[in-house]
Copies of this chain bind each other. A is one copy, B any other.
């Protein structure tokens, strides 16, 4: 996934979320709302919650969910080592079936980091 792909992913995700909400009944709207709130700062900081969301998405093997949390982890300033240790827990718990997702995580992570660096130029 190139930077353009990451941007395209986020834009398509946003657009289709709007489509879901346009069609959503009251319960779907409530669930969407909780899905926003639950990752906010509380007893645990948002950055830890993003790691929780990432490992949950990894062991359940949902690429779109993983990608979203990887982007959020990058925004929260998660370090390479923190990311790696989180993924290692997921890999240990979830097994080698998670490996294809690990590949895509690191591909995206390299691009997210490369983007940040070039932004500084």
| Chain A residues close to B by CB (< 8 Å) | 13, 16-17, 19-20, 22-28, 30-35, 37-39, 42-44, 48-49, 51-53, 55-65, 79-82, 84-100, 102-104, 106-107, 109-110
Q: Which residue of B lies closest to A37 (CB)?
A: B27
Measured between beta carbons, the chain B residues less than 8 angstroms from A93 are 53, 56-57, 60, 65, 95-97
Within 8 Å CB of A60, what residues of B? 59-60, 93-94, 97
CB neighbours (8 Å) of A28 from chain B are: 84, 87-88, 91, 102
Is chain A's interface secondary structure helix, strand, loop, or mixed overall?
Answer: helix
A33 (CB) vs chain B CBs: closest residue: B30
B13, B33, B58, B85: the one contacting A103 at CB < 8 Å is B13
